[in-house]
Structures are given as C-alpha cells and as structure tokens.
Amino acid sequence: MKNLFRRIFFGDVVIREYSTITVPGEIREKVYLQNEKHTIDISQRQFLLCLEPVVFGVWLGKKEFVTESSNYKMHFKSSGRKNDKEKIVATITLDFFDKIVEDEKVLLLLKLKSTKIFYTTWLKTHLLYSRYYKKLTFSFNKLKSFAAAYGYPRKVRIISFKEENYFNIFPMDLLGDIGETGNYVFGLRHTNVTLSKIIASKKIVVSEISYQYKDLIYELGKHHGSIPPTLDSLPFKTIQSEKFGFNVPEWVFSYKEIEILKTINLGSHMLMWGKVINEKKIKEPTGNLFHIHFLLYLYQIKVGETYPLV
C-alpha cells in the first residue's frame, strides 16, 4: 500500500529524509541574508552548525551588518534549467544568538525561529510527513526546519583525532571552511564520544573526500557515539598528518590541521572555532559528497535538473 501511495503521488523516486549527491561544477542553489536595511548573497559563507535548535553561522565582511535583533531572514533559492529564474524554496526567520569577531570581521550566529517551505504543494508536504517522517520526536515544524537548512547542499568531510592510543575518524557536514582567513568552524554533537578530547587537546584534522567512498564514510559515521574500532581493523590504510600525527584515510584529497581557539554551546551541538596551522594536498579532487533534503531533490525533479545521486 505504501509503494502504491508513493507511485501515485511521487512516481518511482525513492523517498528518504536526505539525498546523497555529488555536484559537478558549481552549486546552483543560492542563500540570501536579509536584515532591516540590506539583502546580501551569503551562499558560500553560511554554515549549518546545530540542529536543536537550528543555528547557522554566517561569515560577514563588515560588522555594520550585525545587529542583535530578531529581524533576520534567510531566503533559500533554487533554479531549474539554465534559463530558469531562481525561485525561493524556503524562507526562515532568525534571532541573533551570538557572534565571533575575527580581524574586524564577524561570524554571526543566528537561531531559527520559524520556517516556510515551498518545494511542493502543501498537500504533498503533509502527505510525505504523515506517511514517512512523522514520529513522537519529529514534529512537522522540525521537518520544515531541516528541509530549509538542507535546501543548500552540505558538503561531507572526514574528521580525524588521536591521543596516545585513542583515535577516531568520522564524517561531518555541520562545519565550514573560511578560506580567506584560514579559519574553520565545526558544530559537533555533544553525544560524540570524542568531543571532550578534542576540546581538551585543542586539535582536530579535517579532510576533503570523494563521494566514491560513500559506503566507507557512512560506516565511519557509526563512530560518533560509540567506541571506535582498532586501527588494524579499519578496512583501509591511513597516513599520519604532518603536524599532529593524526590518522587520515589514505584516499582523502587533502587535509587541514586545525588549532581550536574557542567553543560555544549551541544546544545539541558544540561550536568549535579554529585556525588552520597546516594544509596538505594529496591528490586532485574528483567529486565531493553532499547532503540535500529530499524535498529539495523532489523540487529539482519537478524543474528538470537534478544533481547526480550517489
């Protein structure tokens, strides 16, 4: 019966919460930040850092844009084929949460207050929720929040940590690279068994990876909340990072060794703000792994231009 329902309303597409994709070329989606006076493109400068509550970090070039108010909005836009105009697929209103000032520039932290999504019809959205997503701990408002937050592709990277005989390697997509300053920001869940060790040592390594290793990447995802396996039992070889000596999968494109400078408790996740102290390129990239919400993928099917699923 569930399969018949799916075919009638959504065709043969497989319904899931998130779609795993790669992005040939540039990301088509755009994100704009609006306050009382201005609207600016923040597509390459906005990072999802916490899920409960949903908190974004936005890297701004001028402190003048920052006001400690509730008058912020983020508009997520997408487009279909090349000549199609951008269309708003989600709009969220946000409260000022906190900020980090670095060299006269600002990482603005904004907490989601309310959400509107426009990926598909009201009826289809509610049918999807009631048939596939509805749980005691997962409200319709939470669906909307996550659908908006992942209305922009979130790149997956690999985190490495080591302390004496202890190590852990796991994927993350709640993080952001601020290349112009050499800063990096992470949103790591409090339930991650390695969080306290990272904070104590003030060291972390982040690696760029290919979608071709998706199965290995998700197997490593099991290590967020449990004791990691021994190094010898990993199904791949590792190399050691140059400065910290942390274990990095041999198949990564590149890695950055980062010193943690500041932490902020966001809710379900801990923000860690750091500075890159060493970067190593290993090979040319061949296509990263990204997460988008299924509702964005459904919208892309409707407008005739999807990213390749992996």
145 has a pLDDT exceeding 60: yes
Residue 209's pLDDT is: 97
What percentage of the chain reaches a pLDDT higher than 70? Answer: 91
Residue ranges, CATH 2.30.110.10, the chain: 154-281
The number of beta carbons lying within 10 Å of the beta carbon of residue 32 is: 19
Model confidence pLDDT, tens digit, residues 217-234: 999 987 666 677 778 888
pLDDT, tens only, 57-82: 999 876 666 777 778 999 999 976 65
**Yes or no: is domain 154-281 CATH 1.25.40.10?**
no
| pLDDT at residue 170, rounded to an integer | 95
The whole-number pLDDT of residue 7 equals 59
Give me the count of residues in the chain. Answer: 310
Contact 76, 88 (CB under 8 A): yes
Q: Check pLDDT > 70 for residue 299.
A: yes
Q: Report which of residues 167 and 36 the model is more confident about.
A: 167
Torsion on CA atoms 46, 48, 52, 53, rounded to nearest 10:
0
Give residue 104's pLDDT band: very low, low, confident or very high (50, 70, 90): confident
Tokens of 246: 């942390």
Checking if the pLDDT of 258 tops 80, the result is: yes
pLDDT in tens, 106-138: 999 999 999 999 999 888 898 888 888 888 788
Our CA angle for 184, 292, 287, nearest 5°, is 65
- With a cut of 90, say whether residue 195 has pLDDT above it: yes
Q: Which residues pair with 185 in a beta bridge?
A: 176, 273
- Per-residue model confidence (pLDDT) at position 191: 93
CA–CA gap between residue 55 and residue 111 (Å, rounded): 4
The answer to whether residue 83 scores a pLDDT higher than 70 is no
- Which H, E and C letters describe 120-136, residue by residue? CCHHHHHHHHHHHHCEC
Distance from C-alpha of 155 to C-alpha of 210, rounded to nearest angstrom: 10
How many of the other CB atoms lie within 10 Å of CB of 97? 21
- The type of residue at 211 is Y
| Closest C-alpha to 31, from 21, 41, 22, 19 | 41
Mean pLDDT score, 23-42: 91
Q: What is the structure's pLDDT at 41? A: 94
pLDDT for the residue numbered 12: 67
pLDDT tens digits for range 1-29: 556 555 555 666 778 889 999 999 899 99
Domain 27-152, CATH class in plain words:
mainly beta
Q: What pLDDT, on the 0 to 100 scale, is given for residue 48?
A: 98
Mean pLDDT of the chain: 90
Mean pLDDT along residues 289-293: 97
